[in-house]
Amino acid sequence: MRADAAGAAAPSTWGAAARRAVPGARSSRAPASAFALAALIALAGAPAQAAPRPRPATGLVLQPVVSGLESPVHLASPPGDSRLFIVEQRGVIRVLENGALLPVPFLDITDRVGDGGERGLLSVAFHPRYATNGWFFVNFTDKRGDTHVERYHVSGDRNRADPASARLVLHVSQPYANHNGGHILFGPDSMLYIGMGDGGSGGDPHGNGQNRGTLLGKLLRIDVDHGDPYAIPADNPFARERDMRPEIWAWGLRNPWRLCFDRAAGMLYIADVGQNDWEEVDAVPARTPGLNYGWNVMEAAHCFRRSSCDRRGLTLPVLEYGHDQGCSITGGLVYRGRRIPAIAGCYFFSDYCSGWIRSVRIANGAATDLTEWRLPKVPSVTSFGEDGEGEIYVLSQNGSVWRIAPSADVAPQR
């Protein structure tokens, strides 16, 4: 989530007036041979494309789905389920079933959630075997501002969770009010991945991004099917290292505001919010452990600490854009639905301030076919979401959700 130019959290909502007062943002403010090549390019530190300009395209529309929500920040569906579960930042999960918003929330933990600025209930993840075990996980900041990852169980009513089933999985102390990350999701390997921001303020004053002894500024990977409350996967890069946190899968992140796996291509995408000048998209083979995405040595593909800018061993983004095009990236999903074959494999993303909808394809470790769709600008876009059929949704802080749908003149497959 975002913070203002002085490094403080936005006052009460994500949409503060300053361009950096946005969720997930700044302070000062998932394999074929092609993907193996992409990994080698990334590990070699190949620079991102230099702020390319997208080409315009038509063929898509934003189809209204629901409005009147309170600061929706995430949307997900259990595997094979037709319902939409919409996370409201205040600490509530709503259910949209058959086009209707159910009046009683699926989960209400407002009494435990510290809501405001960049804090709140930030995401939900349904266990891959949710249909049989009823488990789901949430990521939120508590009243002290610390990160909680908790497991819950659905009740006897399929549209109501059992609030008494809460079990703490992970607690991470947060030194500041911003850069909480907040996204959790299950990977194709059934491990739970947790995106953690660098802890906040501006410029990563504690050096958390490059410190593998802390969970801040990292992508974590844990096994919630074993251990108490979780086990460390044996193939995590630091599972057997001393003085390093074994939960770490990757490091060098500033504030990852939405992750996604493209199961079809075996790629992992991370939208990482920049500091003063650059926003970035990272895309790597999902089974590549121990990557360093560079923060706070780098901001996207550019030196941030000019006095010490050693790029060796860093994985630089496949795509970046400057603050002449926006202020804070909002990721991002790869389209794998069936309604719009022409955009299959495209990664969709947006910017909280600019509100455009763009897509890009990743081929051989490079960004191609960068497109800006001729759609109405989405005000204060907070997230993308995906239903059980792979269709993509866009969420706005103003309380609305739209589905990306084909128009009559949808472009042919390129």
Q: CB count, 10 Å around CB of 51?
A: 17
pLDDT in tens, 108-129: 999 999 999 999 999 999 999 9
Confidence of residue 194 (pLDDT cuts 50, 70, 90): very high
Alpha carbons within 13 angstroms on the beta-carbon side of residue 379 total 9
Contacts of 135 (CB under 8 A, 6+ apart): 126, 127, 129, 151, 152, 153, 224
Beta-bridge mates of residue 250: 219, 291
Indicate the pairing of strand 267-272 with strand 256-262: antiparallel
Q: CB count, 10 Å around CB of 308?
A: 8
pLDDT in tens, 55-97: 999 999 999 999 999 999 999 999 999 999 999 999 999 999 9
Q: Is the residue at 343 inside a domain?
A: yes
pLDDT in tens, 317-348: 999 999 999 999 999 999 999 999 999 999 99
Average per-residue pLDDT for the chain: 88
Confidence of residue 53 (pLDDT cuts 50, 70, 90): confident
Q: Is the residue at 11 inside a domain?
A: no
Q: Is the residue at 18 inside a domain?
A: no
> Residue 272 sits in which domain range?
33-406
Q: Is the residue at 283 inside a domain?
A: yes
CATH number, domain containing residue 193? 2.120.10.30
Q: Which two tokens stand for residue 304?
A: 């941030």
Ordered DSSP codes for 81-92: ---EEEEETTTE
Is 17's pLDDT higher than 60?
no
The number of domains in the chain is 1
Percent of the chain with pLDDT over 90: 83
Confidence of residue 51 (pLDDT cuts 50, 70, 90): low
Q: Average pLDDT for residues 352-376, to the nearest whole number?
A: 96
Q: Is the residue at 19 inside a domain?
A: no
Q: Is the residue at 136 inside a domain?
A: yes
Q: Is the residue at 12 inside a domain?
A: no
364 secondary structure, DSSP code: T
Q: How far, in whole angstroms, is CA 41 from its chain's centroid?
A: 23
pTM of the model: 0.89
Considering Cα of 99, then 101, then 106, then 109, what sign does the dihedral take? Answer: positive
The pLDDT score that the predictor gives to residue 282 is: 98
Q: Is the residue at 276 inside a domain?
A: yes
